[in-house]
Chain A
Amino acid sequence: MKPTIHLSTKSWTRRDVLRACLCGAGAGALNGMPLVFSRALAADATASNRILVVLELSGGNDGLNTLVPHGDDAYYRHRPRIGIRPDKLRRIDERFGFNPGMAGFEGLYKDGRMAVVHGCGYAQPSFSHFTSMAYWHTGAPNSGEETGWVGRLADAIDTQATPNFIVNIDEAQSLAVSARNHVPVVFDDPERFGRKGLYQTRPLLDQVSDATHDANPSRRYLLEVAKSARAASQLVRDAWAKYKTPVDYGIVAVDLPKIASLIAAGMPTRLYYTSYRHNAFDTHVQQPDLHQRLLTYVSDAVAGFMKDLQRIGRADDVVMLVFSEFGRRVPENTSLGTDHGTANHMYLIGKPVKGGHYGTPPKLDALDEGDNLVFTTDFRRVYASVIDGWLGYGDTRKLLSGNFQTFPIFG
């Protein structure tokens, strides 16, 4: 059985399973498209196998209760009620320990497959979820940039705008993948990522008008998306139908099995983007139980994904980046929760990663006037490290509109 994935209130029904079977049966009849594509995939794969998966934790994850600085008394002074006692933590060294729910992260760190970058943030931080997230998406705080850093990255490293180069699993397209030349493949449920239609209507359903010179910009956009849908849906559905894994991703798999299925199928996708949605990490009230549960889900899912990559034989080719739009206020609030804050950890995870600590942990006894951490690492340094060190694109200066020193995270 496939792992259950339900971020939304929906989950699978018998009907969905029936549908899936029907779609699978019909797939072979369609124009022989899968064959053509699989040959194209093989050619592309020789160019580069390296894949980046970005996982966003929306809502502002409380980094201090994720990787707890148990060696610092100031932490316990700021958080007398929601601070996690040292004996409960999953200690990784004399300074830090993971939240008790995060066995998966603990294991990945101890195996040397996780780089923790400390104090990531930016100057003049926004405390609005939406604004701050937009800054992280564009990689350009306070600028009005309209494309996302993942989208610009795709435009830079794949000037041919190969179809299916970016996959974004979500209900709506993330700003992070918005590109000038690439049209990202965006879907939520792979089983439903297909067009229903009777045999005789297929040729007409698949027809998309050329819109290059259309005066109506909305129509132009719709036609471009229609083309992307046509190019991707069959591949995605086939990949998902074929994918079977014995790996346990936990209760909320954060769409990672979907990504594993596409990687296993050899999609030409180099950039994947997914998120723990709907501001889930916005823990203003009664934080501890809820936050631990969320972290357990993430940790289980990521650990499962890494294990699955190993099984598929692609562990050497995939790096995952985990981030949130901000951390939370250092002192706890009176509702056993935390309010919007600033600097936070970023995580780079995977076999190619040189594990360990990077950057400087912000001081807990030298907060700014709003009781927040003062960031020590511009988050774009981490983007630059991945872009240059992992994906091999050196001109990060242009891509990120600034000179961001990289970390030696990759071998």
Chain B
Amino acid sequence: MTRCSPVRGFGLAALLLSGFAVNAAEWAGDLTPIGTQDWNAARAAHLLERAGFGGTPEEIALYAAMTPQAAVRRLVYHKTIPNDLPAFDDSGAHDPGLEPFPPSRPAATDLAKKTGESLGVKVKPAGNRRLQPVADRFFYWLRASRLETHRLAYWWANRMLVTRRPLEEKMALFWHGHFATNEEKVRDYRKMLKQLELFQDKGTGSFRELLISVAQDPAMLAFLDAAVNVKGAPNENFAREIMELFTMGVGNYTETDIREAARAFTGWNFVDLNFVISPDKHDSMVKTVLGRSGNFDGVAVIDVILAHPVTAEYIAGKIYRHFVREDISPELRKALGAKLRDANYQIAPLLETIFLSREFYSPASIGTRIKPPVELVVSTYRKMGLKEIPGVPDFNEVTEMLGQILFYPPTVAGWAHGRSWITPGLLLARGNFVYDTVFPDINFLPPDRYPGNDYQIAAVSEKLAMGLDVTTATKPDAKEMTSISMQMADRDEDFNTRLASYRGWQMAIQKVKPIPRATAQLDLAGMVRAAGCRNAQQAVDVLLARFVSVPVEAGTRARIGKFLESELGTGDLSAAGTFLEEPLRSTLHLILSLPEYQLG
């Protein structure tokens, strides 16, 4: 090891190698708290990696200087730490006329045909395309809500980056995947924000309270079609997902339990941003769920579910698998479940147990977790020392490409974790994210201003500006149109969908504020200089220690060192001081493209 190091003379990879060799191999499955004598910088780094979004050398040193108990408590009981982060800066794209937003474009225009008005817009009294303003407004809100949701994702990612309570955001992200709702169906960024605030607020509190709040949360109610779950015609979707995905897991209830539970949730609905119960739609008769009978309402059914021992085990097991490792023994699952149930479903004590346990610091748990995309991106930025999520590359484009765009989980089951984050395509994309960060794309076009070719918006825009009539301007330019979908896309003469798509985009970008587009403010030269590095290999070692959680083979380390030396034309950093930055960026791209970098 070299003398130069990120901060106060320690190198993470080296400590990982030495620090865990002692007796830690026997720690697997052991929930006993780690002793103060076993606490060190490498383990503090592991804690920050898992309970937060990775640590900078300064943060690692801070946590390493505490006792393990104090370090874990600081993360878990975070509400005492002041966190004066700015509130979401709303563009004000919504107005009351949009409520209730119709379920589809045909629903919006049909309503207008029937009543002369829809979405707060009246039908034109006469002339061509009388419903056009209604169709325009429908697309306006689709686009505006989506663009605002992308801004919301930026706001959240910035919190992850700079927060002093990393576990608050980490748990919010966990619950977002657990109670997955997707803006594409919810179609209202305000509901997504409200739900996120719920996760941030209650994410380490009582699971019972969280579950009830989620079951009454407008985003969730919209996502699982609560509106159609009414007396005499219960919709199973909601009850099924509550049991299968939110509390128990398959195999612990019957189809009858689902149908009965669905009855208890009848009449639960939302109006705009508020939860409402319609007494006339609620089935107040006796239901039998999981062997218990009563005049259950939704909260009562939730309590029946929580009383079932499998629920605490399911939740505790899922938290463990998310934060520690994928394989969990049945005994450990039982033990953690009992912990959660005995703590009256309080999440914080469970987290405290997990993060303090020897199990959490055993070799099987360290450096074996594939970082989910959002964690990969945010922790990369943190370790780069950034104070702001860059606008180039676009955070949402990057995370979508890597498979985890915020507010758009793929299904109600959330994101599949572990190895499913890595495919050949996704592995290359992870390296490309780093490339795009250290060498920002000069052809970058902001996706929140430039429409891509959604329904050929750009082409329609150009043709209209050249004076073409709407029919000609909106004709798709496929050479040979044989598919039914292309032919049917524009049959209604009361309005033109492609025109509406274009107008909706135009209206949305006028209303929704742009995302700032600063590139990453990186100073790698300053970073290695501050660490006291004198030669190329030392610089590589500092970067490896700062960024990579698992040991890299000696050959790889040396090859990267040689690469930097050859890029600099010298091994001596002081001779290369005036042109250090770019070679270091290439080097960092190499390091962060290593398969090993995906592990944390």
**In the complex, how many angstroms separate the beta carbon of A151 from the nearest chain B beta carbon?**
14
Binding site for B on A (CB under 8 A): 1, 3-4, 6, 8-15, 18-19, 101, 103-104, 126-131, 168, 170-173, 183, 185-189, 192-198, 200-201, 204-205, 207-209, 216-219, 221-223, 225-226, 228-229, 232-233, 246-252, 277-279, 284-286, 289-290, 293, 296-297, 299-300, 303-304, 333-335, 337, 339-340, 370
- CB–CB B550/A195 < 8 A: no
Q: Does B590 contact A (CB under 8 A)?
A: yes
B30 in the interface (beta carbon within 8 A): no
Q: Are B230 and A334 in contact (CB under 8 A)?
A: yes
Some 17 contacts from A to B, beta carbons below 8 A apart, are: A172-B403, A186-B425, A186-B426, A192-B428, A195-B432, A205-B593, A209-B556, A216-B550, A218-B419, A226-B595, A229-B428, A248-B480, A250-B485, A251-B486, A251-B489, A286-B107, A289-B106
Contact B422 A225 (CB under 8 A): yes
Q: Are A4 and B484 in contact (CB under 8 A)?
A: no
- Other A-B contacts than A14-B450, A228-B424, 10 sampled, CB-CB below 8 A, are A10-B400, A12-B453, A18-B443, A131-B250, A172-B421, A204-B563, A219-B596, A226-B424, A247-B480, A248-B486
Known contacts A204-B559, A247-B480, A248-B486; A197 and B411 CB within 8 A of each other: no
Q: With A128-B244, A222-B596 as known contacts, state yes or no: A229 contacts B424, CB within 8 Å.
A: yes
A250 contacts across to B, CB distance below 8 A = 483-486
A286 CB contacts on chain B under 8 angstroms: 103-104, 107
- Name A334's closest neighbour in chain B (CB-CB): B233
How distant is the Cα of A103 from the Cα of B369 in the complex, in angstroms? 48
A218 vs chain B, min Cβ distance (A): 5
> Which residue in A10, A173, A209, A370 is a CB contact (below 8 Å) of B452?
A10
Nearest opposing residue in chain A for B236, CB measure: A339
A195 to B444, CA, bound (A): 18
Q: Are A172 and B483 in contact (CB under 8 A)?
A: no
Task: Tell me if B80 is interfacial: C-beta within 8 Å of chain A.
Answer: no
Q: Is the CB of B484 within 8 A of A299?
A: yes
A300 touches B560 (CB 8 A): no
Q: How far is the CB of A143 from chain B (nearest CB, A)?
A: 13
B367 touches A197 (CB 8 A): no
Q: Contact: B590 with A201, CB < 8 Å? A: yes
Is there an interface contact between B593 and A370, defined as CB atoms closer than 8 Å?
no
In Å, the complex CA distance between A370 and B236 comes to 13
CA distance A314 to B367 in the complex (A): 47
Chain A residue numbers with a CB within 8 Å of B429 are 192
- B272: CB under 8 A from chain A? no
Q: Please indicate the chain A residues that have their CB under 8 angstroms from the CB of B419 in the complex.
A: 173, 218, 221
- Whether the Cβ atoms of A196 and B436 lie closer than 8 Å is yes
Task: Point out the residues of chain B lying under 8 angstroms from A226, CB to CB.
Answer: 424, 427, 595
Contacts of A201 in B (CB 8 A): 563, 586, 589-590
B80-132 with Cβ < 8 A to chain A: 103-104, 106-107
Instruction: Find out whether the CB atom of B427 lies under 8 angstroms from the CB atom of A229.
Output: yes
Closest Cβ–Cβ distance, residue A363 to chain B (whole Å): 21
B515 at interface (Cβ–Cβ under 8 A)?
no
Q: Which B464-500 residues have a C-beta within 8 angstroms of A?
A: 477-486, 488-489
Given known contacts A14-B445, A195-B432, is B368 in contact with A187 (CB within 8 Å)?
A: no
Q: Are B484 and A278 in contact (CB under 8 A)?
A: no
Complex formed: what's the CA distance from A19 to B236 in Å? 46
Output the nearest chain B residue to A335 by Cβ-Cβ distance: B228
* Alpha-carbon distance A392/B197, docked complex (angstroms): 57
With known contacts A104-B484, A222-B422, A229-B425, A209–B553 Cβ distance under 8 A: yes
Please give me the residue from chain B that is nearest to A3 by CB atom: B478
List of B residues within 8 angstroms of A3 by Cβ: 478
List residues of chain B with CB within 8 A of the CB of A290.
Answer: 104
- A4 near B453 with CB under 8 A, answer yes
User: B420 on the interface (CB 8 Å rule)?
Assistant: yes
Contacts of B422 in A (CB 8 A): 221-222, 225
Given contacts A13-B453, A225-B423, contact A248 B411 (CB under 8 A): no
B485 near A130 with CB under 8 A, answer no
Contact-residue bracket for chain B: 35 or more
Among residues of B, the one whose C-beta sits closest to the C-beta of A233 is B428
Find chain B residues with CB under 8 A from A340 CB: 236, 240
| Residues of B that sit less than 8 Å from A by CB | 103-104, 106-107, 146, 184, 225, 228, 230, 232-233, 235-237, 240, 244, 250, 255, 367-370, 397, 400-401, 403, 408, 410-413, 416, 419-429, 431-432, 435-436, 441, 443-445, 447, 450, 452-454, 477-486, 488-489, 550, 553, 555-556, 559-560, 563, 566-567, 586, 589-590, 593, 595-596, 598-599
CA distance A285 to B228 in the complex (A): 8
Q: Is the CB of B445 within 8 A of A15?
A: yes
Q: Is A216 a contact of B595 with CB atoms below 8 Å?
A: no
List B contacts of A187 (CB < 8 A).
423-425
- Give the residue name and chain of the A residue nearest to B421 (CB): A172
Q: A14-B445, A200-B586, A333-B235 are in contact. Are A9 and B424 (CB under 8 A)?
A: no
Q: Are B486 and A198 in contact (CB under 8 A)?
A: no
User: Bound state CA distance, A278 and B236, in angstroms?
Assistant: 19
Cα–Cα distance between A30 and B394 once the two chains are bound (Å)? 29
Residue of A nearest to B146 (CB): A9
A52 to chain B, nearest CB (A): 20
- Find A171's partner among B410, B413, B486, B489 (CB 8 Å cutoff): B410
Beta-carbon contact of B445 and A204 below 8 Å: no
- Contact between B483 and A300, CB atoms less than 8 A apart: yes
Q: How far is the CA of A285 from the CA of B420 in the complex (A)?
A: 30
Q: Which 9 pairs of residues, A with B, have the shortest CB-CB distance?
A: A187-B425, A334-B233, A186-B423, A250-B483, A229-B424, A335-B228, A222-B595, A300-B483, A196-B435
A300 touches B397 (CB 8 A): no
Taking A171-B403, A173-B420, A289-B106 as contacts, is the C-beta distance between A333 and B427 under 8 angstroms?
Answer: no
Q: Is the beta-carbon distance between A219 and B452 smaller than 8 angstroms?
A: no
Instruction: Pick the residue among A15, A173, A232 that contacts B441 (CB under 8 A).
Output: A15
Report the minimum CB–CB distance from B132 to chain A (whole Å): 20
- Partner among A172, A247, A289, A297 whose Cβ is within 8 Å of the Cβ of B420: A172
- A289–B108 Cα gap in the complex (Å)? 13
Whose C-beta in chain B lies nearest to the C-beta of A16? Answer: B452
Contacts of B485 in A (CB 8 A): 101, 250-252, 293, 296-297, 300
Chain B residue nearest to A227 in the complex (CB): B424
In the complex, the answer to whether B560 meets A204 with C-beta atoms within 8 Å is yes
- Residue from B244, B255, B478, B483 with most neighbouring chain A CB atoms (10 Å): B483
The chain B residue sitting closest to A251, CB to CB, is B485
Residues in A whose Cβ lies below 8 Å from that of B436: 196
Please determine whether A196 and B420 come into contact, CB atoms closer than 8 angstroms.
no
**CB closest chain-B residue, reference A229:** B424
Given the complex of chains A and B, what is the CA–CA distance between A249 and B476 in angstroms? 13
Establish whether residues B410 and A193, one from each chain, have CB atoms under 8 Å apart when the complex forms: no
Distance of A226 Cα from B422 Cα, bound (Å): 9
- Report yes or no: A285 in contact with B482, Cβ–Cβ below 8 A: no
A172 vs chain B, min Cβ distance (A): 4
Closest Cβ of chain A: how far from B584's Cβ, in Å? 13
User: Do A208 and B244 touch (CB < 8 A)?
Assistant: no
Q: State whether A13 touches B447 (Cβ < 8 A).
A: yes
From residue A25, how far is it (CB to closest CB) to chain B in Å?
A: 14
Could you tell me the distance in whole angstroms from the C-beta of A28 to the nearest C-beta in chain B?
A: 19
Collect the chain A residues with CB atoms within 8 Å of residue B236's CB: 339-340
Q: Which of A6, A8, A197, A285 contacts B589 (CB 8 A)?
A: A197
Which residues on the B side are within 8 Å of A252 (C-beta)?
485
| The residue from A1, A129, A249 contacting B483, defined by CB atoms under 8 A apart | A249
Shortest beta-carbon distance from B390 to chain A in Å:
16
Determine whether the beta carbon of A15 is less than 8 Å from that of B233. Answer: no
Docked CA distance A207–B104 (Å)? 50
A10 to chain B, nearest CB (A): 6
